[in-house]
Amino acid sequence: MCSKEWEIRLDEAKTEEMKFFVLMLRQYLKTWKSKLDDLEKALQDLTFDYQRCRAELEHTIRRRRHISFGNISGVHEQVRETETPLASATEMNESRAHAQINLAQSERNERAQDGLETTLSSFPKDNSNRHRLRKEKEPDKFDASQFCPQERTVAYRVEIRSRSRKSGETPSDYGYALRRLGNLAFPDMSYPNREIIIVEQFMNGIGNSDIRSHVILHHPNTLESAISSATELEAIKGATTLHH
């Protein structure tokens, strides 16, 4: 077979192939055109349904706007009349449950209050405060021996005179311990005079000669100033020791 015949057959094959592709393309175009027609029809149906629903909604809104308050109350009354017995029973059960919960809470609060009062009653009373309040309220009828007997006052005075700073006790702890003893030992003394006694005992019982000298040189008038001077010198000594 010559080359010319091969060329003719090749051209025929290409022509047939092109015809096949053209036919397939036409078929696809027809299919897509049909789908586009269906989509267009569906879109038209949706548009029509949307317009119809919108018109119905607007009509319903206009009707509801014309309902009077009297009609609304009448509707509410009809709804109340048509309530089922089951709903009424449910409301009754809920109200009973709330009442029981409130009763249990009130009983628990009462028991907690009773327990608190019992606990507070077991604490020791502050005789110095009771002493001061009773004296201010009824100075003529006040008897100090009921709250702070003379024997106990003497014991507190002996204790404050012999109270010295303990090992590991800070100047602040030592000073406020002296103040507590001073309030118990001298309940009838004025505050300035009692403060003088407490400051003197603080300087005598501080235990360190350097700290005592430092506090005395500052001439403290109150316990707080004496504590500040002692704490200051202790801090300086501690810093010097760490530096060396």
DSSP string computed for 26-84? HHHHHHHHHHHHHHHHHHHHHHHHHHHHHHHHHHHHHHHHT--HHHHHHHHHHHHHT--
pLDDT digits (tens, 9 = 90+) for 66-117: 654 444 455 445 545 444 544 555 566 666 766 777 776 666 666 666 665 5
Per the confidence metrics, is the pTM higher than 0.95? no
Report the percentage of the chain scoring pLDDT > 90.
27
Look at residue 57 in the predicted model and tell me its pLDDT: 86
Q: What angle do CA 171, 172, 174 make, to 5 degrees?
A: 65
Judged against a pLDDT cut of 50, whether residue 123 lies above it is answered with: no
pLDDT digits (tens, 9 = 90+) for 20-73: 777 788 877 888 787 888 888 888 888 888 888 888 888 888 877 765 444 445
pLDDT at 120 over 60: no
Block residue for tokens 């009462």: 110
Q: pLDDT confidence of 196, banded at 50, 70, 90?
A: very high
Residue 137, SS3 per DSSP: helix
- Say how many C-beta atoms besides its own lie within 10 A of residue 178's C-beta: 26
For domain 127-243, give the fold.
DNA breaking-rejoining enzymes fold (1.10.4020)
How much is the mean pLDDT over the chain? 75
pLDDT, average across residues 233-239: 84
Residue 160 has pLDDT above 80, yes or no: yes
Instruction: Name the burial class of residue 64, with classes exposed (0-12), middle (13-18) and buried (19+) by CB atoms within 10 angstroms of its CB.
Output: exposed
